[in-house]
Structure 1
Amino acid sequence: MNPPPPLHPERARSHGRVASGDERRRVAIPRRSTRGPLDSDVDDPLADSIPDVQQPQHQHQHQQQTRTTSLQTASPTIAALSPQRILSPTRSETSPLSPHDGQLPDMPSKDFSFLQDPAAFHVLPASNIPPPFLNAPNAPSLTSPLPVLLQTGHFRLAAIAAARNLVASTSPTDHNTLFHLLHIRLSCLCLIQEHALAAQEAKALGDLNSAFYLHPLTNTHLVPWSLRLLVVRLAALGYGEWRKGIMGYYDLARECRETISKQDISSDEKQLWRLRLRDCGIRVANVLVELRDLEGAARHLASLSPPEIDESRAAEAAEILYMETLVHLRIGDITAARRTLTSLSTISSSSSPLIEGTLTALLSLSNSDYTSAITTFRTLQSQFPSNAMVTQNLAVCLLYVGQIAEARQLLIDLVDTSPPFRSAVFNLSTIFELCTERSRDRKMGLVERLAGRGRDGGEGVGFEVANGDFKL
């Protein structure tokens, strides 16, 4: 008797395939001992953290030794970086992943060489800087240490030196140094009013929300918080995309809330992230002011004030009320500004006589009560003689009432004795235009006097003021 024909004769030898019902498919194929790149323990923080309770002890130890030997042979660098994670099947108290450890565990090297592209950094234009600043006798060299350049106010030279060190003197895997130098570069560009160049150079970072910038073990962001804030600011300021800047700050605020809600962080870390969350809210109000949405900025600042002000949060509440008062003054709502300033009296422990006196004088100035404003600023100047803000506001009030000679002398003394700032230079240049027809000669004399400070061993300026600030 012949055997019955097969059910599927056409599949008997079609390309050597086996029918799905064949019992040979049920034979268990042992796992190969070869370890591929996806088997690396460094990429998986939970690998080998839970031992197999059903496996005999001697078999588990034998497999553990086999895995250790294989990994050390394939990648000795990783094994040397974290031998305890490989040798121990459970998480010990001294594990780098322990939440009680203050330092981040070691991680594989990441290549950040894309930040060292020389083409990403622009040559700084010098056409908008007066020649006396470019040829100042007290200007240091580019080889001076960066802290010295920053401390003396030579921000243009510091920006150039930071870019050179970032491109030529830093390892592409040293992300801490790379981010630090890039932060100095972008900050110095902002200080010399080169926001457009800073915004273009910040694009080299790409999307900071990418997983590439996260620590593979702890999920901590590798980019410093201050640099991330600056990048959001540059995206709004450099390209005029203010709404994109608001969205960026809200993304950072969401990260702050998520971190605060975690249970495995200390109280100090929670306080730090609360301060960062509050700072994001203030920066959103700043963007609204630059968008000319002053009413929205005032409402937003009012929402940042805590509902119940205790002694621990009195300083934060007072700072928000100061900002809210200034916004109301800029709107022209004198009643709301006076009401906000009056509410500061309930926070007596955190009140500042300097700031409250200045706001009171500005309220008088907004009501065209120049006499009261001058009296208040003179009182503040006697109490704080070295405060440049009080001196400049007093000079402006004197200019409004026609006392140009006294206002000019106050600003000249201010520029000669304190580090110059743009508003003081601009106001003094305006007075020169009101006093003489040869104002350009007076302005150029002011430029040479500022650029030559420190020639005789005195304190140098270093702060390069542009032509527009001198009204040249």
Structure 2
Amino acid sequence: MMNVPNTNPLDRTRSHGRVTSGDERRRVAIPRRSTIGPLDNDVDDPLAERRRSPSHITTSASSTPRRVLSPAPSTTASTSPLSPDSGTPTLSDLPSKDFSYLLDPSAYHVLPSANIPAPFINSPTLPSLAEPLPSLLKTGHFRLAAISAVRTLTTATSPTDPSTIFSLLHTRLACLCLLNEHVLAAQEAKLLGDLSSAFYRHPLTNTHLVPWDLRVLSVRLTALGYGEWRKGIMGYYDLAREARDSVLKADSPAEKTLWRARLRECGIRVANVLVEMGELEGAGRHLSTLTSPASTAESQETREILTMEALIWLRVGDLRASRRCIAVASDLPPPSSPTTTTHNAKIEGTLAALLKLAEGDYPAAVQAWTDLHFTYRDDAMITQNLAVCLLYMGRISEARDLLTELVGESTPFHALTFNLCTLYELCTERSRDRKVGLAERVAARGKGEVGFEMEAGDFKL
């Protein structure tokens, strides 16, 4: 029979480098180590988490960037001192976060130009790419602004300058959305990874390093990139939870007002996602939960939400629910600003005209839109709706004249050019020539015009 080894549990500790004995004579006094304070600049600083070296941060060289799920955590540099004493370390002494994974040129796409009509590509008023980015944004040259933003981001931006990096990235993604390049924007937004990660938080104050607007845009683009709208809804609820906590922690009335506005924005964006999913009734019920008996200070916000809800019920076809929302909005306390009062009167008139249109009473709708048109001559939305009502009544020439005049006087937009091209198709067999001529006319607008570049689909080409 084999000998069974000694299984004394005290002997097992030897494999871990520890000697256990009951003999007190073997105890040796060890001097106490000096304690390192939490603000001492040392490699064992508990506030300095592990950092990944720049060689470990890589992005894909293909056209579709690899998603960075959890960038390596590190501390953030700041210029504000931690203590006024000269001998106390400051936040600027801490290592900076490295955002070099957002500066890789291969992570960004070349914008396609096949869907742009030739008059816009060869327009003599097309500005240079060397113009300042704010000027390109102001004049509506969003394609050039997107190219300029990513060029500055990848060639002239420090990887440790988060404010500049996120500002340029926000401009790039927003311009892609304005150009209807949502797929490209969703793919490029994946480069940010998980914005709820601790990597994007300040190590001491826990404030988020990414601007709020970019975080809101990233939620929607993330849902688009995965094709799951529910991810967008959950993302907005996460932001709403943070906004609600920030309202409770705010120290000043201005800060409370800011976070309450952001909380309200998240609620509205959830309704927007439901509309894009086709859940119109769910969106209407959700908006109804965002309104409450409002005071005079909050009546305008409640009025705006009721207007959104009324429009949704109009799309559903529930005219009774839409009228109920309009009636509740009209009973709210009036605003103190004359400008706001005028704006609310225009909205009420517009909803009343839309109700007549939804009921099929086209003569009454035309009269309502005509009255609004004479009162608000510069409102393109009212003029276009009047033209549509005239088209429904068979008065095609009057509708065409209204839209043609509107193209020359206001900033062109998708619904305007699309409806005018539809009238061309109804009026002549040479509609394509008319469409091309309209595109040339819009492209020849002055350099200071807003909404310069349009797609071929805007002219039904």
1:30 paired residue number = 32
Change (3 A) 1:78 1:156: closer
Contact 2:80-2:92 within 8 A present in 1 as well: no
Contact 1:235-1:244 within 8 A present in 2 as well: yes
Q: Which moved further from structure 2: 232-241 or 357-366?
A: 232-241
Matches within 5 A, 1:121-160: 121-160=108-147
1:451 paired residue number = 443
1:51 paired residue number = none
Letter paired with 2:457: G
1:73 paired residue number = none
Q: Distance in 2 between matches of 1:122 and 1:132?
A: 24
State the identity %.
58
**Please, which of 328, 336, 350 is the counterpart of residue 321 of structure 2?**
336
Change (3 A) 1:155 1:106: farther
Q: Distance in 2 between matches of 1:386 and 1:254?
A: 41
Change (3 A) 1:17 1:281: closer
Q: Distance in 1 between matches of 2:347 and 2:412?
A: 21
Q: Does 1:275 align with 2:264?
A: no
1:301 paired residue number = 287
Letter paired with 1:302: S
**Please, which of 358, 367, 370 is the counterpart of residue 362 of structure 2?**
370
Letter paired with 2:45: D
* Larger helix proportion of the pair: 1
Q: Distance in 2 between matches of 1:242 and 1:38?
A: 44
2:406 paired residue number = 414
Q: Which moved further from structure 2: 266-275 or 218-227?
A: 266-275
Q: Distance in 1 between matches of 2:382 and 2:245?
A: 42
Contact 1:78-1:108 within 8 A present in 2 as well: no
Cα deviation, residue 360, structure 1 = 0.4
Cα deviation, residue 80, structure 1 = 11
Cα deviation, residue 274, structure 1 = 0.9
2:273 paired residue number = 287
Q: Normalising by the residue count of structure 1, what TM-score does the alignment of the two structures yield?
A: 0.82
1:347 paired residue number = 332
SS in 2 for 1:390: helix
Q: Distance in 2 between matches of 1:80 and 1:221?
A: 16
Deviations 1:192-233 (A, max 9, x none): 110000000001101000000001110000000000000011
**Please, which of 442, 447, 468 is the counterpart of residue 434 of structure 2?**
442
Q: Distance in 1 between matches of 2:80 and 2:358?
A: 69
Q: Distance in 1 between matches of 2:252 and 2:236?
A: 24
Cα deviation, residue 461, structure 1 = 4.9
Q: Distance in 2 between matches of 1:210 and 1:224?
A: 15
Deviations 1:138-170 (A, max 9, x none): 111111000100000000000000000000011
Letter paired with 2:22: G
Q: Distance in 2 between matches of 1:41 and 1:17?
A: 31
1:4 paired residue number = none
Q: Which moved further from structure 2: 377-386 or 22-31?
A: 22-31
Q: Distance in 2 between matches of 1:430 and 1:193?
A: 21
- Structure 1 or 2, whichever has the larger Rg, is 1
**Please, which of 298, 301, 318 is the counterpart of residue 313 of structure 1?**
298
SS in 1 for 2:205: coil
1:396 paired residue number = 388
Q: Distance in 2 between matches of 1:233 and 1:365?
A: 33
1:467 paired residue number = 456
Contact 1:109-1:173 within 8 A present in 2 as well: yes
Contact 2:243-2:262 within 8 A present in 1 as well: yes
Deviations 1:66-102 (A, max 9, x none): xxxxxxxxxxx999965647846xxxxxx98xxxxxx
Cα deviation, residue 432, structure 1 = 0.4
Q: Structure 1 stretches of 5 or more lacking a match?
A: 1-7, 44-76, 89-94, 97-103
Q: Distance in 2 between matches of 1:412 and 1:284?
A: 37
Letter paired with 2:185: A
SS in 1 for 2:110: coil
Q: Distance in 2 between matches of 1:311 and 1:80?
A: 40
Q: Distance in 2 between matches of 1:215 and 1:299?
A: 38
Q: Structure 2 stretches of 5 or more lacking a match?
A: 1-7, 50-76, 336-340
Contact 2:296-2:333 within 8 A present in 1 as well: no
Cα deviation, residue 317, structure 1 = 0.8
2:227 paired residue number = 240
Cα deviation, residue 241, structure 1 = 1.3
Q: Distance in 1 between matches of 2:148 and 2:211?
A: 20
Deviations 1:289-346 (A, max 9, x none): 111111111110000002x211011001100110010010000001111111112221
Deviations 1:409-447 (A, max 9, x none): 111111111111101010001000000000000000000
Cα deviation, residue 38, structure 1 = 2.6
Cα deviation, residue 260, structure 1 = 1.6
Change (3 A) 1:156 1:17: closer
Q: Normalising by the residue count of structure 2, what TM-score does the alignment of the two structures yield?
A: 0.84
